[in-house]
Structure formats: C-alpha cells, structure tokens
Amino acid sequence: MNIYRKFKTDTAAEIAGVWVDIESLSLVNESEVRGDGKAYFRIARWNNPRNTARLEELKKDYREQVKAGIELEDSLATEMLCESASEFVLLDWMGVKDESETEVGYSKEFSKKFLIELKDFRELIFKISELREVYNSYTLERVKKS
C-alpha cells in the first residue's frame, strides 16, 4: 500500500471545499457544475482550521457550563454547529430548490436555515465533510483531469 496515495490530502481543498453531486455522492470538477437540473454542493472539510476556530469562538460563552458538567441543550449545540458549518463547511451550491420548487441561490443564511431545519441534509453534509477520501490529493487530481 502506498501510504501517501491512501492518506495524503489536499489542504487547500479542505478549506476551499470540493464540489459534490449529492445524488450520486460523487466528486465533480468545478467546470462540470452547471444548471443541468442536478444539485451540487461545495463542501469543505469539517476539521479545517477556519471551522475549528469558529466553533471554539461560538463555544467560549459556554465553557464554564461544560466544565461544571452541564451539557448544552441539543438545540443550542445544533445551532452552533450549523452556524459554523454555514460559514466554513457548506460553502456554495447550485441547483437547490425550496419547497415551492423555486431555485435558491447560496447564502450563509439559507445554508444555516437548511442545515438547522433539515436533519438528514445536515447529517449528510457533515458526513461528507468528514470523509478523508473526499479530500484525497490523488482522487482530486483524477477529478480535475476528467
């Protein structure tokens, strides 16, 4: 096993995000992202430095509570995770429609709204952002060449 081929990641892509076709759960080249009726999402890696720093900033007001053994309410924890993810994980999209089938352009506000309101969507975005394979240097090189 070539350990570099297996585990080397593209740190720039971890921060800038990669385009993912949510239906097929496949990576796509940015030039392929277009208005073809499919939904595409640009997703950064969960533990990228920007997201990590933002989460720490959001949690600072609750450190004493956590140190005292008092857990944060689920809704508050979800709110903080979605706040940070809407800024530094779910970075863009194309082809997303709301309940009335109206196309919704990307914004941090809509990103946060969808992440909070749609639990299964949130879980999928978070899982994708945690997969090392998505940010693998060799995989991303192959996608760029295709």
Instruction: Give the helix ranges, DSSP H, for the chain.
Output: 3-7, 11-16, 49-59, 63-67, 74-88, 108-117, 119-130, 137-145
The pLDDT tens digits along the chain (146 residues) read 999 989 999 999 999 999 999 888 899 988 888 878 899 999 999 999 999 999 999 988 777 777 777 777 888 889 999 999 999 999 999 999 999 999 999 999 999 999 999 999 999 999 999 999 999 998 888 888 87
Phi and psi at residue 105, to the nearest 5°: -70, 155
Instruction: Look at residue 43 in the predicted model and tell me its pLDDT.
Output: 98
List Cα–Cα distances, 128 to 39, 58, 85, 90, in angstroms: 15, 22, 12, 10
Distance CA 34, CA 95 (A): 8
Instruction: Look at residue 61 in the predicted model and tell me its pLDDT.
Output: 78
